[in-house]
């Protein structure tokens, strides 16, 4: 499970990632660096009683987490990811980086794998393009995130 649900906010720190990363044992990517070599994590701020999701791979000893999405951004909870894991469709997520576009056999979509910007845990996929059938186009730009 790449996502975990949490209910209260904790501060998000700046983290620095350097060097090169090997993602899924086949994609060699340059370091994820923004603004002076630092990765700036998006903080969800005061969300009150709203639920939100964070990356499971980023749990640290001090309790800080990397936030991924608000519960209100879920379109559907009725999807499955890799190996039939439960997955949700989100309109918007934060603190993510995407891989290269790939053609997926499922319904002919072009999708990008989505990773946590802090720890590079694979979270799910982003729909980039769909077959010509208009019924599939509704998913373009949305995120399929595994629980």
Q: CATH no. for residue 62?
A: 2.170.150.20
pTM of the model: 0.68
36, 97 Cβ separation under 8 angstroms: no
The partner residues of 67 in beta bridges, in order of sequence, read: 54
Query: Into how many domains does the chain fold?
Result: 1
Q: CA Rg, the chain, in Å?
A: 16
Average pLDDT of the segment spanning 10-25: 35
- What are 26-61's pLDDT values in tens digits? 332 333 433 345 566 766 666 666 788 888 888 655
Cα 53 from Cα 124, distance rounded (Å): 13
Average pLDDT of the segment spanning 8-33: 35
Query: Mean pLDDT for the chain?
Result: 70
- What are 92-117's pLDDT values in tens digits? 998 888 888 888 766 778 888 999 88
The parent domain of residue 106 ranges over 3-146
| 3-class SS of residue 60 | coil
Element (H, E) at 36: none
Total residue count of the chain as it appears in this document: 147
């Amino acid at each position: 499970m790449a996502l975990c649900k949490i209910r209260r906010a904790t501060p998000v720190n700046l983290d620095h990632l350097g060097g090169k990363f090997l993602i899924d044992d086949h994609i060699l990517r340059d370091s994820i660096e923004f603004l002076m070599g630092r990765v700036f994590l998006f903080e969800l701020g005061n969300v009150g009683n709203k639920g939100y999701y964070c990356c499971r791979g980023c749990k640290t000893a001090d309790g800080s987490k990397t936030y991924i999405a608000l519960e209100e951004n879920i379109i559907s909870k009725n999807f499955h990811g890799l190996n039939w894991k439960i997955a949700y469709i989100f309109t918007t997520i934060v603190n993510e980086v995407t891989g290269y576009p790939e053609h997926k056999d499922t319904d002919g979509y072009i999708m990008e794998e989505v990773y946590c910007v802090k720890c590079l845990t694979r979270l799910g996929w982003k729909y980039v393009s769909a077959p010509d059938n208009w019924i599939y186009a509704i998913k373009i730009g949305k995120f399929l995130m595994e629980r």
